[in-house]
Chain A
Amino acid sequence: MTNVTGLQAGESAEEQAFQAKIDREERIEPKDWMPEGYRKTLVRQISQHAHSEIVGMLPEGNWVTRAPSLKRKAVLLAKIQDEAGHGLYLYSAAETLDASRDEMTEALHDGRAKYSSIFNYPTLSWADIGAIGWLVDGAAIVNQVALCRCSYGPYARAMERICKEESFHQRQGYEIMMVLAQGTPEQKEMAQDALNRWWGPALMMFGPHDSNSVHSSRNMAWKIKRRSNDDLRQQFIDMTVPQAEYLDLSIPDPDLTWNEETGHYEVGPIDWDEFERVVKGGGPVGRERIRDRRRAWEEGAWVREAALAHAEKRRQRKMQAAAE
Chain B
Amino acid sequence: MNETELMDQPAANAPALDAGTQAIFVDYLLHLGDNGLILGQRLGEWCGHGPVLEEDIAMTNIALDLIGQARMLLTRAGEIEGAGRDEDALAYTRDALAFRNLLLVEQPNGDFALTMVRQFLFSAWSYELYRRLTASTDPGLAAIAAKAVKEAAYHRRHSGEWLIRLGDGTAESKRRAQDALDDLWIFTDEMFEAQPGDAALAAAGLIPEPSSLRPDWEAMVERVLAEATLTRPDPGFRREGGRTGRHSEYLGHILSELQFLQRAYPGAQW
State whether the Cβ of A65 lies closer than 8 Å to any Cβ in chain B.
yes
Q: In the bound complex, do residue B54 and residue A88 qualify as a contact, i.e. CB atoms below 8 Å apart?
A: yes
- Stretch from B95-103, B122-130, B254-262 at the A interface: B254-262
B168-A303 in contact (CB<8A)? no
Residue A270 CB within 8 A of the other chain:
no
Please indicate the chain B residues that have their CB under 8 angstroms from the CB of A69 in the complex: 88, 92, 262, 270
* CB-defined contacts of A176 to chain B, threshold 8 Å: 270
Using A65-B45, A306-B165, A306-B166 as known contacts, say yes or no to A88 and B67 having CB atoms under 8 A apart.
no
Q: Which residue of B lies closest to A307 (CB)?
A: B165
Query: Is B48 in contact with chain A by the CB < 8 A criterion?
Result: yes
Would you call B56 an interface residue if the criterion is a C-beta within 8 Å of the partner chain's C-beta atoms? yes
Are A299 and B111 within 8 A (Cβ)? yes
> How many residues from A make CB contacts under 8 Å with B?
49
Which residues on the B side are within 8 Å of A60 (C-beta)? 47-48
Given contacts A81-B60, A81-B61, contact A306 B47 (CB under 8 A): no
A306 in contact with B170 given A77-B63, A81-B60, A296-B48 (CB within 8 Å): yes
Q: Kindly state whether residue B268 has any CB partner on chain A within 8 Å.
A: yes
Cβ–Cβ contact A73 & B44, under 8 A: yes
With A68-B270, A78-B64 known as contacts, the answer to whether A84 contacts B53 (CB < 8 A) is: yes
Q: Taking chain B's interface residues, is the majority helix, strand, or loop, or is none over half, making it mixed?
A: helix
Chain B residues contacting A187 (CB-CB under 8 Å) are 265, 268
Q: Which residues on B sit within 8 Å (CB–CB) of A303?
A: 51-52, 55, 112, 166, 173
> Chain B residues near A54 (CB, 8 Å)?
48, 53
A180 to B74, CA, bound (A): 25
Q: Please, how many residues of chain B have a CB less than 8 angstroms from a CB on the other chain?
A: 49
Across-interface contacts of B55 in A (CB, < 8 A) = 300, 303
- Residues 41-87 (chain B) with a chain A CB within 8 angstroms: 41, 44-45, 47-57, 60-61, 63-64, 67-68, 70-71, 74, 87
Q: Shortest distance in angstroms between B40's beta carbon and chain A's nearest beta carbon? A: 8
Known: A69-B270, A306-B172. A88 touches B70 (CB 8 A): no
Q: Is the CB of B173 within 8 A of A57?
A: no
Residue A126, interface by CB 8 Å: yes
Across the interface, name the chain A residue whose C-beta is closest to B61: A81
Q: Tell whether, in the assembled complex, residue A305 and residue B169 are in contact, meaning their CB atoms are under 8 Å apart.
A: yes
Residues of A within 8 A of B37 (CB): 70
Contacts known (A61-B47, A77-B67); A70 close to B173, Cβ less than 8 A: no
Contact B49 A296 (CB under 8 A): yes
- Residues of chain A within 8 A of B173, CB atoms compared: 302-303, 305-306, 309
- B186 contacts partner chain A, Cβ-Cβ < 8 Å: no
**Chain A stretch 47-83: residues in CB contact (< 8 A) with chain B:** 54, 57-58, 60-61, 64-74, 77-78, 80-81
Distance in angstroms from A288 CB to nearest chain B CB is: 12
The DSSP consensus for interface residues of chain A is: helix
* Cβ contact within 8 Å between A84 and B60: yes
Q: Verify if A241 is at the interface (C-beta below 8 Å from B).
A: no
Question: Distance in Å from the Cβ of A50 to the closest Cβ of chain B?
Answer: 9
Shortest beta-carbon distance from B151 to chain A in Å: 13
Q: B41, B165, B170, B268: which contacts A65 (Cβ < 8 A)?
A: B41
Residues of A within 8 A of B135 (CB): none
B220 contacts A by Cβ under 8 Å: no
B4 near A: Cβ within 8 Å? no
Contact check, A184 vs B61: say whether CB atoms are below 8 A apart: no
Docked pose: A58 CA to B45 CA in angstroms = 11
Q: How far is the CA of A177 from the CA of B242 in the complex (A)?
A: 37
Contact with B along A147-180 (1 / 0, CB 8 A): 0000000000000000000000000000010011
Asked whether, in the complex, the Cβ of A81 is within 8 Å of the Cβ of B64, the reply is: yes
Chain A nearest CB from B211 CB (Å) reads 31
Residues of B within 8 A of A122 (CB): none
Q: A179-B269, A313-B168 in contact; A57/B261 too (CB < 8 A)?
A: no
Q: State how many angstroms separate the Cβ of B268 from the closest Cβ of chain A.
A: 5
- Across-interface contacts of A281 in B (CB, < 8 A): none
Query: 1/0 contact trace for B141-163 toward A, CB 8 Å?
Result: 00000000000000000000000
List the interface of chain A (C-beta within 8 A of B): 54, 57-58, 60-61, 64-74, 77-78, 80-81, 84-85, 87-88, 91, 126, 176, 179-180, 183-184, 186-187, 292, 295-297, 299-307, 309-310, 313
Q: Name 23 interchain pairs, CB-CB below 8 A, sorted by A.
A: A54-B53, A64-B45, A65-B258, A66-B258, A68-B92, A68-B262, A68-B268, A70-B88, A70-B91, A74-B71, A77-B44, A77-B67, A87-B53, A126-B261, A179-B269, A180-B270, A303-B51, A304-B52, A305-B173, A306-B165, A306-B169, A306-B172, A310-B164
Chain B positions within 8 Å of A, measured between CB atoms, are 37, 40-41, 44-45, 47-57, 60-61, 63-64, 67-68, 70-71, 74, 87-88, 91-92, 111-112, 164-166, 168-170, 172-173, 176, 257-258, 260-262, 265, 268-270
Besides the contacts A126-B270, A186-B265, A296-B50, what 5 more A-B pairs have beta carbons closer than 8 Å?
A60-B47, A74-B64, A84-B53, A300-B50, A302-B173
